[in-house]
Amino acid sequence: MRTLETTNISEFVSEFILLGFPCRRDIQIFLFVLFSLIYLLTLLGNIAIIYAVWSNQNLHTPMYILLANFSFLEICYVSSDVPKMLANIISQNKSISYSGCLLQFYFFFSMCAAEGLFLSVMSFDRFLAICRPLHYPTIMTHRLCAQLVVFCWIGGFLCLLTPLTLISQVPFCGPNTIDHFLCDLAPLLSLSCAPVSGITLVCGVISSLIIFLTFLYILGTYFCVLGVVLQMPSGSGRHKAFSTCASHLAVVSLFYGSVMVMYVSPGSGDHPGMQKFVTLFYALATPFFNPLIYNFRNKDMKDALKKIVNVLL
């Protein structure tokens, strides 16, 4: 591994070393196989949801269109860091270029922000469907649904433009070793050879706003939904509403539960082992569980997938 000397501040870093998971070779091989399997299953699960929505005319509704876009986001999200992580596990050369590191940071966290926006929009859709059922068809039109999808994608990438611009102006003079498996904010800024307290504060404020505004909005909509559902008479309608909301809330809990540990403040979670574990959970485990949660708890999706399986067999 190549590491620049700390004392040589005249030479700026042109690449970083991602340590990843330094351990015995047999453990690294095990991790490679495990993470590769989870990655492939994640891709297959989310592709199955997209294909089920695309191929089934009954699922061409705003709820499932949002879900299909969310699944596509999960594919992009998990593909922005896992392939590089897998390559570094089995490779002796664990380097990533300076520009590659910044791009990985930008795309990974932009899609992380977009995920929060999608979860907020999906909760808004459920709020309208359950709390305003008579007005739902006139409010949640396909045009509005398309506009919300565009808003989530563009909004996620716009949110990270300021942090990316600030980080690109930080001087890195060495050392260049990042004790992580991706270019995360805190370990990256810790390598700066200039004070970064202002940048840390700005990035912390932006991440906190994204996390708390979307999370509080989701909580608010589901408090309203819960109040309406509890007033419904016992029956299939109430059960279906609970089932749909439970799926979404499970995904929200997985995502926000792990993200809040790390990114409410960029300086939180200073222990490298904890950083890696929490980041690995919401970067790999959460996209893996999402298709399972939606498929097992949603009857319409299960029926659509059964039809696809029957056609293939």
Q: Walk along the chain (313 residues) and give the pLDDT tens digit of each residue.
A: 444 333 333 357 889 999 888 888 889 999 999 999 999 999 998 998 898 888 888 889 998 999 999 999 999 999 999 999 999 998 888 899 999 999 999 999 999 999 999 999 999 998 998 889 899 999 999 999 999 999 999 999 999 999 999 999 998 887 889 988 999 888 899 888 888 889 989 998 998 899 999 999 999 998 888 888 778 776 656 666 777 677 778 888 888 888 877 655 444 555 667 778 888 888 888 889 888 887 666 677 777 777 777 766 6
**Quick one: pLDDT at residue 1?**
43
Please indicate, yes or no, if residue 241 is contained in any of the structural domains: yes
Number of other CB atoms surrounding residue 20 within 10 Å: 22
Long-range contacts of 129-135 (CB under 8 A, 24+ apart): 129/63, 130/225, 130/228, 130/229, 130/241, 130/245, 131/224, 131/225, 131/228
Q: What is the pLDDT of residue 77?
A: 94
> How would you classify the pairing of strands 177-178 and 15-18?
parallel
Assess if residue 31 is contained within a domain.
Answer: yes
pLDDT of residue 10: 34
pLDDT score for 62: 92
Tokens standing for residue 19: 């340590």
> What is the residue type of 216?
L
Looking at residue 173, its pLDDT comes to: 83
109 closest CA partner among 282, 268, 278, 257:
282
CATH code where residue 160 lies: 1.20.1070.10
Q: How far apart are CA 156 and CA 262, in angstroms?
A: 18
Read off the amino acid at residue 179: D
Give the pLDDT score at 270.
Answer: 56
pLDDT of residue 285: 85
Q: What is the pLDDT of residue 277?
A: 82
Q: What is the pLDDT of residue 3?
A: 44
Q: Is 253 among the domain residues?
A: yes
**Confidence (pLDDT) at 204:** 87
**Whose structure tokens read 């509080």?**
216
Query: Which residues span the domain enclosing 78?
Result: 17-299
CA–CA distances in Å: residue 104 to residues 129, 179, 188, 210, 232: 37, 16, 12, 19, 47
Give a yes or no: residue 124 inside a domain: yes
Is residue 197 domain-resident?
yes
pTM across the whole model = 0.87
In a domain, 85, yes or no: yes
- Domains: count for the chain: 1
Residue 313 lies in a domain: no
**Residue 12, in any domain of the structure:** no
